[in-house]
Structure formats: C-alpha cells, structure tokens
Structure 1
Amino acid sequence: MCRNIKSVQFVRKISGFAKPSKANEAAFDAAVSEIAAASARLLGALETNAPHRNREEEAAKAKARGEGRFGT
C-alpha cells in the first residue's frame, strides 16, 4: 500500500465506493474519522532511538553519493 494514502482513500478502497450514497454517507464519514484517529494514535505512540534527520544534510549526502557514483 502506498505510504501517502489518505484515510478517505483507504475507506474508498475497502468499501468499494468512490462516493457513498446519501444512505451510506454517515457511515462512510464515521469510518474516515475513525481511520484518521487510529492513524494519529499510532504515529503518536511510535518510538525510535534514531536521531532526527535534517533534510539539508540528507540532500548533501545524496549529492555526494551521486557525484561519487556518476562523477558529475
């Protein structure tokens, strides 16, 4: 599954509806809210011992690897 999927996309995928009918709209919206809340709880509970990454530092490393590999 794509790591950038939104909760509404996930609910659409598992329900099989691109847009729910009026009768199912409340259940659809509730599912989206529950998925978003569960995802937020999961991300808030995750722990890591790794140091935070710096985008500029990572980009510089990637550029150096590219120069070493391709000589440009």
Structure 2
Amino acid sequence: MCRSIHTLYNVEPAASAEEAHAAALQYVRKVSGYRKPSRANEEAFTRAVDEIAAVSWRLLGELETSAPPRHREHVHA
C-alpha cells in the first residue's frame, strides 16, 4: 500500500514538514480512492490530509533512536 510513501524517520537529510504532508496526501488518496475529491468531499479530504500530516510530523519529532541516520539514497533504493 502506498508504495510512493518513503521512510521519513532517521534519514539524512532530515525530512521536512512538506514531505510529511506529501506522504499524508498519498495515504488519503489511497484510502479514499480519490486522486482529486469531488467538491462535496473536498473539505473532508483536505482536513484528513492536514490531520494525518500533523500527527505524522509529531510522531517523527517524538521518536527516539540511537542508530545513526540513514542516507536517503539507500533508504529509497
């Protein structure tokens, strides 16, 4: 599921809030089945993306590890 969502935790260079938002968008698209929601569903779709992005960004900030950061090209290969 969501094959285009990449690991955002413990990578170098560090992930950005924009990347967390992009991952949330991909997730909501997959779950909802909408690439672009209808006008009637646009508000719920946008709210879901924003909430998932915020929770994801908070999670990334709260996780702890003693492992060194992985280089992105190795993580995404």
Structure-2-length-normalised TM-score: 0.60
2:30 is equivalent to residue 13 of structure 1:
yes
- CA shift, 1:48, in A, is 1.0
- CA shift, 1:52, in A, is 4.8
Match runs of 1:11-50 below 5 Å? 11-50=28-67
Distance (whole Å) between structure 2 residues aligned to residue 16 and residue 26 of structure 1: 15
Corresponding residue for residue 70 of structure 1: none
Question: What are the superposed Cα offsets for residues 8-65 of structure 1, whole Å, 9 maximum, x if unpaired?
Answer: 1110000011110001000000000011001001100100123456x6xxxxxxxxxx
What SS class does the counterpart of residue 49 from structure 1 fall into?
A: coil
Alignment-mate amino acid for residue 32 of structure 2: S
Alignment-mate amino acid for residue 44 of structure 1: G
Alignment-mate amino acid for residue 28 of structure 2: V
> Which has the bigger relative contact order, CA under 8 A and spacing at least 6?
2
Query: Tell me, which stretches of 5 or more residues in structure 2 are unaligned?
Result: 7-21, 72-77
Query: Tell me, which stretches of 5 or more residues in structure 1 are unaligned?
Result: 56-72
Greater share of helix: 1
- CA shift, 1:6, in A, is 1.6
Structure number, greater radius of gyration = 1
Query: Alignment length, in residue pairs?
Result: 54
